[in-house]
Chains A and B, each alone.
Chain A
Amino acid sequence: MVKKIKLLDETLRNAQQSLWATRMRTESMLPIAEVIDQAGFDTVCVAAGVTFESAAMFLHEDPWARQRLLRQRMPRTRFDVLVRARNLWGWKAQPYDVQTLFLETLLRNGVDSFKLFDGLNDLRNMAYLLSEGRRLGFMVKGFVGFNDSPAHTDAYLARKAREFVDHGVDAMVISDSPGVMKPERAYSALSAVRAAIGEMELHFHCHTAAGLGRDACREAIRADVDVIWTAARPLAWGSALPAARDMVAMARDAGCEVDTDDAALAVIDDYFYWVAHKEGRTVPPEKPFDEAYYKAYVGHQIPGGMISNLVQQLKDRGLSDHLPAVLEEAGRIRAELGYPHMSTPFSQFVGVQALMNVTQGTRYATPPEALRLYARGAFGEHIAEMDQNIRDLLSQGLPPIDPLEGLDQPILPKIRAEFGPFDSDEDLLMFLFMHPAAYQDFHKNKKPILELPRLHPVAALSQEVMARNLSHFEMRKGDAVSLKLSRA
Chain B
Amino acid sequence: MSDLTYQDVIRILTLVDQAEGMDLELTMGDLHLKVVRGAGHHPAPVPAAVAVQQTGVAKGPAPATAPDAAPTSRPDLTKFPDALPVLAPMGGMFYAAPAPNQPPFVMVGQKVKQGDQLGIVEVMKLFTPITAEADGEVVAIAVDNQQTVARGDVLMLIAPAQQG
* Contact surface of A with B, Cβ cutoff 8 Å: 23, 25, 57-60, 91, 263, 266-267, 270-271, 273-274, 277-280, 306, 309, 313, 316-317, 345, 348-349, 351-352, 355-356, 359-360, 365-371, 436, 438, 441, 456-458, 460-461, 463-465, 467-478, 480-481, 487
- Residues of B in contact with A, size category: 35 or more
Asked whether, in the complex, the Cβ of B49 is within 8 Å of the Cβ of A463, the reply is yes
Asked whether, in the complex, the Cβ of A456 is within 8 Å of the Cβ of B33, the reply is no
B5, B10, B49, B91: the one contacting A277 at CB < 8 Å is B10
Per-residue contact bits, chain B 30-74, to A (CB 8 Å; 1 contact, 0 not): 111111111111101111111001101101110000000000000
Instruction: Take A360-B89, A368-B128, A478-B3 as given contacts and tell me if A472 and B10 are in contact as well, using a CB distance cutoff of 8 Å.
Output: no
Given known contacts A271-B6, A370-B127, what 19 new A-B pairs fall within 8 Å (CB)? Answer: A273-B7, A274-B9, A274-B10, A278-B53, A306-B124, A317-B91, A351-B124, A352-B123, A359-B151, A360-B151, A457-B9, A458-B4, A469-B45, A470-B16, A470-B35, A475-B34, A476-B31, A477-B3, A477-B8
The answer to whether B13 has its CB under 8 Å from any CB of chain A is: yes
The answer to whether B150 has its CB under 8 Å from any CB of chain A is: yes
B2, B39, B61, B151: the one contacting A456 at CB < 8 Å is B2
B108 CB contacts on chain A under 8 angstroms: none
* Contact surface of B with A, Cβ cutoff 8 Å: 1-10, 12-13, 16-17, 30-42, 44-50, 53-54, 56-57, 59-61, 89-91, 100, 123-130, 150-151
Interface centre among A266, A270, A345 (most CB of B within 10 A): A270
Cα distance A476–B151 when bound, in Å? 63
Cα distance A475–B30 when bound, in Å? 11
- The minimal Cβ–Cβ distance linking B115 to chain A, given in whole angstroms, is 10
Instruction: Take A366-B89, A460-B6, A468-B44 as given contacts and tell me if A473 and B37 are in contact as well, using a CB distance cutoff of 8 Å.
Output: no
Instruction: Take A280-B54, A366-B90 as given contacts and tell me if A457 and B47 are in contact as well, using a CB distance cutoff of 8 Å.
Output: no
B12, B30, B35, B50: the one contacting A278 at CB < 8 Å is B50
A313, A441, A456, A469: the one contacting B40 at CB < 8 Å is A469
B57 CB contacts on chain A under 8 angstroms: 23, 279
Asked whether, in the complex, the Cβ of A436 is within 8 Å of the Cβ of B100, the reply is yes
Asked whether, in the complex, the Cβ of A267 is within 8 Å of the Cβ of B37, the reply is no
- The minimal Cβ–Cβ distance linking A52 to chain B, given in whole angstroms, is 15
A470 CB contacts on chain B under 8 angstroms: 16, 35-38
Asked whether, in the complex, the Cβ of A279 is within 8 Å of the Cβ of B53, the reply is yes
B12 CB contacts on chain A under 8 angstroms: 461, 475
Instruction: Take A58-B61, A460-B6, A470-B38 as given contacts and tell me if A360 and B90 are in contact as well, using a CB distance cutoff of 8 Å.
Output: yes
Asked whether, in the complex, the Cβ of B37 is within 8 Å of the Cβ of A349, the reply is no
- The minimal Cβ–Cβ distance linking B97 to chain A, given in whole angstroms, is 14
B40 CB contacts on chain A under 8 angstroms: 469
Asked whether, in the complex, the Cβ of A469 is within 8 Å of the Cβ of B44, the reply is yes
Asked whether, in the complex, the Cβ of B30 is within 8 Å of the Cβ of A465, the reply is no
- The minimal Cβ–Cβ distance linking B122 to chain A, given in whole angstroms, is 9
Cα distance A271–B13 when bound, in Å? 16
Asked whether, in the complex, the Cβ of A317 is within 8 Å of the Cβ of B150, the reply is yes
- The minimal Cβ–Cβ distance linking B18 to chain A, given in whole angstroms, is 12
Cα distance A119–B21 when bound, in Å? 55
4 pairs of A and B residues whose beta carbons are closest in the complex: A467-B47, A480-B3, A274-B6, A472-B36
A349 CB contacts on chain B under 8 angstroms: 126
Asked whether, in the complex, the Cβ of B91 is within 8 Å of the Cβ of A348, the reply is no
Chain A residue at smallest Cβ distance from B34: A474
B4, B34, B130: the one contacting A461 at CB < 8 Å is B4
Cα distance A370–B34 when bound, in Å? 64
Asked whether, in the complex, the Cβ of B5 is within 8 Å of the Cβ of A367, the reply is no
Chain A residue at smallest Cβ distance from B126: A368
- The minimal Cβ–Cβ distance linking A444 to chain B, given in whole angstroms, is 12
Asked whether, in the complex, the Cβ of A472 is within 8 Å of the Cβ of B6, the reply is no
